[in-house]
Amino acid sequence: MKTIYRHPLLVVGIVCFCLMSVAQQSSQPSSGTKAPQSFTRTAAPDPALPPISMLTRLLVLTPEQEQKVRQLFAEHNKSYGELFQQKLSPNERQTKLRDLRKKLQKNLETILTPQQMQKLRRLDPEAMLVDRLTVALRLTEEQSQQLLEVLREQSAGIRAIEKEASEKGWSEQQKKEKLAELRKQIDERVNKILTPEQQQKLKQLLQGEGVPATVPPKDNQPTPP
């Protein structure tokens, strides 16, 4: 039986949803200083949605397709926000959320060509993110590989937490605490991979547009290995 994590949009978005903050943890922000931002995206809009700029670039969307996808995502995010305002049990919310994303999937199939849908299903979210980070942070081949391994382990950890939460009926707070523990572990591992300069660059990216995967590389930037 397929799990929700087989959904192509959710698979792409799940990395963006619970990805780590890689700010330098050895230095605490002083009073009045804004704390470093995190990769973690909050409940609105739906964090499972990949950036439209990413879809436009990777799937080579036409202007008409891009406009339709933007409208579709806007409608989905509105329903998503309304869903999280309802008083539901975790299992009820998960069921409704799954149905909402299935509806999005069907609507998306009316916009994209079969070839684009096939490519979307084959996208490797962790590899895509590392590809963007490799360009933005000028990672070495060894760093890219190490980061890719960490992100894939994190995705597996998220799936394990979600499964255990569903099976044991955890509260949202319990699940949030487990995810926070996972993010902390990932933060520490990523900080060991990146140099201080790269950590600072990533911090700047997070304080700007957010996940650097949304920013296509410029022509004069080196291509990733």
| Position 57 confidence tier, pLDDT thresholds 50, 70, 90 | confident
Cα 129 from Cα 146, distance rounded (Å): 13
Listed in sequence order, the residues at least 6 apart from 171 whose beta carbon sits closer than 8 Å to its beta carbon are 90
Report which residue type is found at 194.
L
Mean residue pLDDT across the chain:
74
Does residue 167 have a pLDDT over 70? Answer: yes
Give residue limits of the domains in the chain: 4-20+40-213
- Find where tokens 């995810």 sit: 179
Report pLDDT for 6: 39
- Own/partner pairs for 34-42, CB < 8 Å, 24+ apart? 34/207, 36/203, 36/206, 36/207, 37/203, 37/206, 37/207, 37/210, 38/183, 38/206, 39/206, 39/210, 39/211, 40/183, 41/16, 41/17, 41/210, 41/211
Query: Whole-model pTM above 0.85?
Result: no
Longest dimension (CA), the chain: 54
Cis peptide before 196 (omega within 30 of 0): no
* 3-state SS assignment for residue 20: coil
* In contact, 58 and 214? CB cutoff 8 Å: no
| Position 62 confidence tier, pLDDT thresholds 50, 70, 90 | very high
Report pLDDT for 119: 86
Does residue 203 have a pLDDT over 80? Answer: yes
Mean pLDDT, rounded, for 197-208: 82
Q: How far apart are the first and last CA of the chain?
A: 36
Does residue 37 have a pLDDT over 80? Answer: no
- Find where tokens 């060991």 sit: 192
